[in-house]
Amino acid sequence: MAPFGDTDPRLLIVGLAPGLHGANATGRPFTGDHAGILLYRTLHEFGFASRPGSSAADDGLVLRGCLITNAVKCVPPGNKPQPDEIRNCNPYLAAELAGIGTACIILALGAIAHDAVLSALGLARSKYRFAHAAEHEFPNGMRMIDSYHCSRYNTQTRRLTPDMFRSVVARAAALAHSGH
């Protein structure tokens, strides 16, 4: 699945993989699935999305200063990517990361996205541990902020609340707008 959004982003959001009934059906990341409800509402709140929701690829939603992609580019079996799928898709993520400036803030949604970014940049996972709201500065000048994924499971179990997510996106937005 191709990334969606601004081709010159200040914020790059890296998700897990297209959802079977969401992005896989609509053709756009986080569109038509539960995770997209919180994501697009929050992006709209911080000025990155032209509207607070997304239901279809042709619904008029525009992202400004933000690009959304996934660590895995196709729907994984059981909605859980296997290590070989992550590895096979990593060159695509590496190319996407190479195409953005070092001033772009990366928001990794979940540990799999976090690890995929590190792999795509050739960085050791042991030096950059995933934790919600953790911030990482890389030797090339890029910065990444971690968040629990905004999935239905995480929001329904309250592992990730809307306020927690809003706080992480607020920090990413502040860094993105400041050029960090």
In this predicted structure, the answer to whether residue 27 has a pLDDT above a threshold of 90 is: no
Average pLDDT over residues 152-162: 95
* pLDDT single digits (tens) 50-72: 999 998 899 999 999 999 999 99
Average pLDDT over every residue of 145-172: 96
**Taking residues 7-24, what's their average pLDDT?**
87
Confidence of residue 34 (pLDDT cuts 50, 70, 90): confident
Q: What pLDDT, on a 0 to 100 scale, did the predictor assign at position 78?
A: 76
What pLDDT does 61 receive? 95
Write out the E strands in 37-140: 66-70, 105-109, 135-137
In a 13 Å sphere around the CA of 61, the CA atoms on its Cβ side amount to 30
pLDDT digits (tens, 9 = 90+) for 68-80: 999 999 888 777 8
Residue type, 36: G
Tokens linked to 99: 């195409």
CA of 35: how far to CAs of 18, 96, 141, 152, 172, in Å? 11, 22, 29, 6, 18
The closest of 23, 90, 130, 35 to 81, measured between CA atoms, is 90
Sign of the Cα torsion 42, 48, 54, 57 reads: negative
The pLDDT score that the predictor gives to residue 1 is 78
Instruction: Tell me what the mean pLDDT of segment 95-117 comes to.
Output: 95
Domains, the chain, in order of start with CATH, read 4-178 (3.40.470.10)
Residue 180 is predicted with a pLDDT of 63
Strands 105-109 and 143-147: parallel
